[in-house]
């Protein structure tokens, strides 16, 4: 289901969005910025809620990944701050972005009004929702009038407090209308005798290569070990399920591991230490076909 975004918002919608490309993930970076004497500093609790808000939006958009940079890193695409703005009881936060002639957003800012949060425990319950709403704005969504016909973090004023770990359904539909999920067929790697697998932008299922119709008797996966920062003498093993792969085999210093139950191929970045370290899933073989060392070539 798609929504005509041009017709549903009552303000703050300009038809702009971040540029994304088919079959690629756009990484958007964010940082807490210090504005010196005007800055009132975000609390640790507020920063935690901002991180959660980015994570929730990140999960909902296949083509965008949010990454936090160090404090006061002005190279970030999105700068976050807190300061005295328009006084208590007015706007909880202000946002802004600039865009090019193609309506592609170049950078954005979000500033929380400390007058509304620092000494107001009731308003603090709305801080996560405020962060969710402002991120929705800098992604390109506008403001919705409150209505019984939908439930959205973009409603203004807020009709309820946001709770949970994922977007409400109407927000999912809106953001998918703005950033359509890649066509499932285009995500899949068509069956070929030799398939190349490189390090993904992020180690998440949505960034992993999707491999269909893999023929164990004839097909080969080429693993670009250089992209993973290791040499071509990499090692491989197979586990009966993800638990075995992560809890047992990952501690035995194998570089690449395969879950024969679900078809997940994983990169184990931290050797014999617990878990995958900074690695994780790199490919999903649809149908979980058999995969042996004979199907792999490390290059």
Where residue 159 sits, what CATH number does that domain have?
3.40.390.10
Residues 132 and 268 in one domain: no
Mean pLDDT to the nearest integer, 87-108: 90
- Separation of CA 186 from chain center: 20
Residues 10 and 67 in one domain: yes
Asked if residue 102 has pLDDT above 50, the reply is yes
Residues 169 and 247 in one domain: no
Residues 20 and 154 in one domain: yes
pLDDT at 120: 53
Residues 194 and 170 in one domain: no
pLDDT at 3: 79
pLDDT at 100: 96
Q: Regarding predicted confidence, which is higher, 55 or 41?
A: 55
pLDDT at 205: 80
Q: Regarding predicted confidence, which is higher, 120 or 229?
A: 229
Long-range contacts of 151-155, Cβ-Cβ distance < 8 Å, separation of 24 or more: 153/129, 154/9
Sign, CA torsion 13/86/128/121: negative
Mean pLDDT to the nearest integer, 266-285: 87
pLDDT at 150: 86
Residues 97 and 9 in one domain: yes
pLDDT at 68: 94
Residues 111 and 213 in one domain: no
Expressed as residue numbers, the domain containing 77 is 5-178
Q: Which of 128, 146, 178 is the last residue of a domain?
A: 178
Residues 201 and 77 in one domain: no
- pLDDT above 90: percentage of residues in the chain: 46
Q: How distant, in Å, are the alpha carbons of 15, 77, 105, 125 from that of 18? A: 11, 10, 5, 30
- pTM here is 0.60
Asked if residue 26 has pLDDT above 70, the reply is yes
Asked if residue 214 has pLDDT above 50, the reply is yes
Residues 138 and 206 in one domain: no
Q: Which of 120, 151, 178 is the last residue of a domain?
A: 178
Mean pLDDT to the nearest integer, 147-175: 90
Q: How many separate domains does the chain show?
A: 2
Residues 130 and 259 in one domain: no
Residues 188 and 272 in one domain: yes
pLDDT band at 191 (very low <50, low <70, confident <90, very high): very low
Asked if residue 89 has pLDDT above 70, the reply is no
Q: What is the length of the chain?
A: 299
Asked if residue 194 has pLDDT above 60, the reply is no
Q: Regarding predicted confidence, which is higher, 141 or 41?
A: 141
Residues 125 and 236 in one domain: no
Q: Which of 178, 211, 226 is the last residue of a domain?
A: 178
Q: Mean pLDDT over all residues of the chain?
A: 86
User: What's the chain's Rg over C-alpha atoms?
Assistant: 22
Asked if residue 206 has pLDDT above 60, the reply is yes
Whole-angstrom distance, CA of residue 15 vs CA of residue 29: 21
């Amino acid at each position: 289901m798609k929504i005509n975004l041009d017709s549903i918002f009552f303000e703050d919608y300009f038809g702009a969005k971040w540029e994304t490309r088919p079959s690629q993930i756009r990484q958007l970076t964010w940082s807490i910025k210090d504005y010196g004497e005007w800055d009132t500093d975000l609390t640790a609790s507020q920063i935690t809620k901002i991180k959660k808000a980015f994570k929730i939006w990140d999960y909902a958009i296949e083509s965008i990944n949010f990454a936090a940079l160090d404090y006061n890193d002005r190279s970030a695409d999105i700068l976050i701050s807190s300061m005295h703005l328009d006084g208590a009881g007015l706007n909880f936060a202000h946002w802004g972005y600039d865009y090019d002639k193609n309506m592609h957003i170049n950078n954005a800012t979000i500033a929380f009004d400390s007058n509304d949060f620092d000494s107001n425990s009731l308003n603090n319950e709305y801080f996560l929702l405020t962060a969710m709403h402002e991120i929705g704005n800098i992604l390109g969504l506008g403001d919705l009038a409150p209505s019984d016909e939908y439930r959205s973090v973009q409603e203004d004023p807020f009709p309820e407090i946001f709770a949970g770990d994922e977007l409400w359904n109407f927000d999912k539909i809106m953001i998918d209308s703005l950033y359509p999920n890649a066509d499932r067929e285009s995500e899949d790697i068509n069956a070929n005798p030799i398939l190349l697998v490189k390090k993904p932008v992020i180690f998440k299922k949505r960034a992993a290569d999707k491999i269909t119709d893999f023929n164990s008797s004839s097909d080969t996966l080429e693993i670009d070990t250089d992209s993973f920062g290791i040499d071509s003498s990499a090692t491989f093993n197979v586990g009966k399920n993800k638990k075995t792969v992560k809890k047992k085999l990952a501690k035995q210093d194998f570089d690449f591991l395969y879950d024969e139950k679900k078809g997940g191929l994983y990169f184990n970045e931290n050797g014999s230490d617990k878990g995958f370290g900074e690695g994780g899933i790199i490919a999903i073989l649809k149908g979980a076909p058999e995969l042996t060392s004979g199907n792999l070539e490390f290059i």
